[in-house]
């Protein structure tokens, strides 16, 4: 799906920001970067459901980014 956005060639990574809030206010929200080749990898998905049901908050609802480990990327 990200490939459809046709990122500019100068882009080297994709920034991800969690929508949930930490249980402790002093804890920063999740923010991470993913190298663009890994974000565009055919095995990288944005999961909206698990076992046919919408994701629960415990599993990252409303969406969870699932990427191959670095050793499994082709």
Whether residue 72 is contained in a domain is answered as no
Whether residue 73 is contained in a domain is answered as no
Whether residue 49 is contained in a domain is answered as yes
For residue 48, name the pLDDT band (cuts at 50, 70, 90).
very high
Whether residue 28 is contained in a domain is answered as yes
Whether residue 12 is contained in a domain is answered as yes
Instruction: Tell me the pLDDT tens digit for each residue of 49-69.
Output: 999 999 988 888 888 888 887
Whether residue 74 is contained in a domain is answered as no
Whether residue 58 is contained in a domain is answered as yes
Full domain range(s) for residue 24: 2-66
Q: Among 3, 72, 4, which residue's Cα sits nearest to residue 40?
A: 3
How many domains does one find in the chain? 1
Whether residue 59 is contained in a domain is answered as yes
Q: Which tokens is 19 given?
A: 């929508």
Query: What pTM did the predictor assign?
Result: 0.59
């Amino acid at each position: 799906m990200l490939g459809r956005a046709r990122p500019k060639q100068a882009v080297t990574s994709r920034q991800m920001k969690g929508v949930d809030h930490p249980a402790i206010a002093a804890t920063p929200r999740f923010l991470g970067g993913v190298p663009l080749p890994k974000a565009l990898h055919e095995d990288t998905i944005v999961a909206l459901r698990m076992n046919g049901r919408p994701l629960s908050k415990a599993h990252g609802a409303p969406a969870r980014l699932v990427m191959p480990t670095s050793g499994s990327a082709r």
